[in-house]
């Protein structure tokens, strides 16, 4: 089954404790992206990647890092989480030629206390 998986689905952590949210897709997509969703703000792009070893900042990259060492994986790293990073995070992937048709993961709800 074609899908995007994220882990963990739920995470409660404390300020400053490094964490990684994993994202994996099995569709051989070149394009992958991370979004955060906050009430009343819609989805905002954090980082995206057009292929292995190619990453770029989205609209709200501050406080986040990503890497793309393999085509299927695109982890999101919070080196020193802060409470304003409490949010719902989505990973998405697509073919490079049709970035509008993105396949979304189920989401990761992160709470930073």
By the criterion CB under 8 A, which residues form the site for other proteins?
4, 33, 35, 40-45, 48, 50, 58-59, 90, 92, 96, 99-102, 104-107
Closest contact distance (angstroms) between CB of 20 and other proteins is 19
CB 7 within 8 A of CB 89: no
Residues facing residue 77 across a β-bridge:
20, 65
Cβ closer to other proteins: 61 or 63?
61
- Mind giving me the DSSP string for 84-102? GG-EEEEEEEE-GGGTTSP
Cβ closer to other proteins: 34 or 78?
34
Phi, psi angle pair for 68, to nearest 5° = -140, 80
User: What's the CA gap between 24 and 38, in Å, rounded?
Assistant: 23
Cβ closer to other proteins: 18 or 30?
30
Cβ closer to other proteins: 17 or 111?
111
Closest contact distance (angstroms) between CB of 23 and other proteins is 11
Closest contact distance (angstroms) between CB of 88 and other proteins is 10
Closest to 62 (Cα-Cα) out of 90, 37, 42, 82 = 82
Closest contact distance (angstroms) between CB of 16 and other proteins is 29
């Amino acid at each position: 089954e074609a899908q995007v998986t994220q882990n963990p689905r739920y995470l409660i952590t404390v300020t400053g404790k490094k964490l990684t949210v994993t994202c994996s897709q099995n569709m051989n997509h070149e394009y992958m992206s991370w979004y955060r969703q906050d009430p009343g703000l819609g989805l905002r792009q954090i980082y995206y990647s057009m292929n292995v070893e190619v990453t770029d900042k989205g609209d709200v990259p501050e406080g986040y890092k990503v890497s793309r060492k393999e085509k299927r994986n695109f982890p999101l790293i919070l080196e020193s989480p802060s409470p304003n990073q409490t949010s719902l995070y989505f990973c998405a992937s697509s073919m490079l030629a049709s970035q509008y048709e993105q396949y979304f993961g189920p989401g990761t709800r992160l709470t930073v206390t």
